[in-house]
Amino acid sequence: MMSEEGAPARRPKKKLLIASFARLFEAKLRLCKVYEDDVCLCILDSNPLSHGHSLIIPKRHFSSLEATPPEVVGAMCSKVPFISKAVKKATGCDSFNLLVNNGAAAGQVIFHTHIHIIPRKASDCLWASESLRRRKLKLDQEALRLARSIRDRLQFVESFDESKGQGSSLLGS
């Protein structure tokens, strides 16, 4: 890269950091790759919550799940059954969490879409139950308004609309 004066241009610090991160990532990727195809790959997480914690990552960059095309999300999700089965066998776990941190408030720190497969064992205490306290949904006007508001904002792609009726529905159409 050359500057307007003909001297080699200096890369901004941020670009250098990204480039060095990419080189480091590529080196780790070769060592920790679990699976790869033309759309996505699966690697061991570099900061695992449990032994065997894996990430399914699209090869193309998408910063969030909603920015990721449905066909890429589908390709990633289609790998979950066989990768999770292999992870469970390799780690001796009988359960796993499937997790997507989507957005900073949800805990996303790497802004490249990825799905976590987190192997679990009974009493592993990965998540304290009090931090995930659930409340019963009140089937009141507020809940009905929220459901209607979400339905009104759904934007389906044509292929999704055409597939309606090809499977079963808990709620009907």
User: CA-CA distance, 154 to 168, in Å (whole number)?
Assistant: 20
| Catalytic residue from among 51, 61, 112, 114 | 114
Measure the CA–CA gap between 39 and 110, rounded to whole angstroms.
Answer: 19
Nearest to 115 by CA among 165, 65, 69: 65
Long-range contacts of 91-99 (CB under 8 A, 24+ apart): 91/50, 91/51, 91/52, 91/119, 92/121, 93/50, 93/52, 93/119, 93/120, 93/121, 94/121, 95/119, 95/120, 95/121, 96/120, 97/126
Task: Give me the amino acid identity at 84.
Answer: S
- 51 is known as an active-site residue: no
Active-site residue set: 114
